[in-house]
Homo-oligomer: A and B are copies of this chain.
Amino acid sequence: MTTQDPSLSRDGRKLECIFHPSSIALVGITSDPNNWMGQGFLKGLLEFGYGGKIYPINPKAGQILGLKAYPGVRDVPGPVDHVISLIPAPLTPQLIEDCGSKGVKVVHLFTAGFGETGDEEGKRLEAELLAVARRVGVRLIGPNCMGLHYYKSRITFGMGIPDEAKESGNISFLSQSGANAGNLLQMGSLRGLRFNKVASYGNAIDLNESDFLEHFTVDPDTEIIAAYVEGVKEGPRFRRALMKAAAIKPVIVLKGGRTVAGAGAASSHTGALAGNEEIWNALLKQAGAIRVYSMDELSDLLVAFCHLPPLRGRNVGVIGSGGGASVEAADICESAGLSVPPLPPEIRSQLREFTPVAGTSVRNPIDTTSMFLPQDISRTLELVASHTEVNSIIFHMELGLGIIQGPARAIVEMGREVIIETAKRLHKPLVVVLAYGGSSQGISVFTETKDRYIKSGLAVFPSIERAALAVSRFISYHETRKSA
């Protein structure tokens, strides 16, 4: 791909090559160590352990973070595969010319200040940039974006990301927003999600949403596709790509700019034309893609897909502590489209053998107010799971100030290990809801507890609302698959 390959955009397999750069030049990287953002991409690559050649490009040359810098791309002695542009927008057409001469395949433009500004000059510059790129045979990612993250190549836009985000996984994410790409990578990884490829593509003047969607569809390591899209460059192509993708993999889509104000913001953000809400709804429904309405919902659905087996039945056993919390959990589950069926008398009486009568309920929701003994937690989970009509179990806990106190903390920790162990032999999927209602002092106990649940592979949600909604949509997806 040293010259423009028009088939690249039409065959998802061919896009693989852009995720395997053998050398990267960072053009416009600052030599100022106090410029935290300006050195971020380089720091990210070094932290991630990128194995190819890295060339900092800076007019002053010298050394940057221990690497020899060059005044221009054309001054680099060896070949340059991939360029990250950090220079101001007006300088980018000349950069693309230079990249063409140097045989660069792809330029990722972190550089912003093009069509998204809304002014004529930005739009003109964008057109010029694309014309030069087409002429000299360079493909563009962006402008106004964070570019690529891929475990196998150790390329990333993430700086200071947690170790979890450096592991490989089965999710690929195409995101018109760079911050959303970074946030899902970082926050999602802390929720137990693992990523294969992440592509932030911004204004999408060359490679666009359809390119990445087509690639993720045929990419064998991508099992789940997530997308944040503000606007679509090629409507009919995107429609075909979405139909094809959703036919073989779960595709979860957050459409940014669904309201008048949101569409205006999308236009300022990536110059996107947001399109009509009804058309989007019809398209996503027809394709069998899952629509979500916030990044939190996107990450919740991914947690369900990654940590739960396919679920078709809507009956949940709801176990938790507190009468009011149990009533609320039942109300929220049913409002979200789940069902909380009463347990049959024989299971209730078995629960009653060890559950005190006063201040508890064994009907479903199960209110375990007085249930402190590990064997009781385990037995309760098993008995609820034994009901053939229960398809999954939601265990909800709210940890409060008490957890920093000795006995309560020990109970939380003991209960946690029992729940994790029991979940392994349950034969019914377990969803854990873990909320925190205490003060700053107790928060580290809470986060340790949450991390332990997540690391054990359980689906963990921060509220019963979010758990119920994600589980219900997850079931809807499998119901649609079944009937299709």
Contact = CB atoms under 8 A, between A and B. Distances in A.
A183 interface: yes
Contact of A179 (B179, B324, B444): B324
A408 B261 contact: no
Given A88-B358, A162-B401, A257 B327 contact: yes
Given A328-B294, A334-B260, A361 B269 contact: yes
Contact of A330 (B186, B262, B334, B361): B262
A390 to B, nearest CB: 13
Interface stretch (A170-178, A282-290, A426-434): A170-178
Contacts of A405: 36, 160
A321 interface: yes
Contacts of A262: 327-328, 330-331, 334
7 contacts: A177-B323, A177-B327, A183-B322, A190-B438, A269-B327, A269-B361, A440-B447
A256 B328 contact: yes
Contacts of A295: 324-325, 328
A151 interface: no
A405 B465 CA distance: 33
Interface string A464-477: 11000000000000
A139 to B, nearest CB: 22
B177 A322 contact: yes
A214 interface: no
Interface of A: 34, 36, 88-89, 111-113, 116-117, 144, 160-162, 175-180, 183, 186-187, 190, 228, 230, 254, 256-262, 264-266, 268-270, 293-296, 321-335, 339-342, 357-359, 361, 363-365, 367, 369, 398, 400-402, 405, 407-408, 437-440, 443-444, 447-448, 451, 463-465
Q: Which 9 A-B pairs have the closest CB atoms?
A: A177-B324, A179-B322, A262-B331, A261-B340, A269-B323, A259-B334, A180-B324, A112-B358, A268-B361
Given A328-B294, A331-B261, A358 B89 contact: yes
A451 B440 contact: yes
Given A160-B402, A463-B296, A265 B361 contact: yes
Contacts of A294: 328, 332, 464-465
Contacts of A407: 34, 36
Contact of A367 (B254, B268, B369): B268
Given A322-B179, A323-B177, A324-B295, A335 B259 contact: yes
A109 to B, nearest CB: 11
A116 B359 CA distance: 8
Given A259-B331, A268-B363, 4 more contacts: A162-B438, A187-B400, A261-B334, A444-B444
A257 B443 CA distance: 31
Which of A254, A330, A367: most chain B CB closer than 10 A?
A330
A388 to B, nearest CB: 18
Contacts of A333: 261
A330 B265 CA distance: 7
A330 B259 contact: yes
Contacts of A438: 162, 186-187, 190
Given A179-B322, A327-B269, A408 B88 contact: no
A392 to B, nearest CB: 15
Contacts of A186: 400-401, 437-438
A375 to B, nearest CB: 19
Contacts of A443: 443-444, 447
A212 to B, nearest CB: 16
A104 B147 CA distance: 74
Contact of A187 (B270, B329, B359, B437): B437
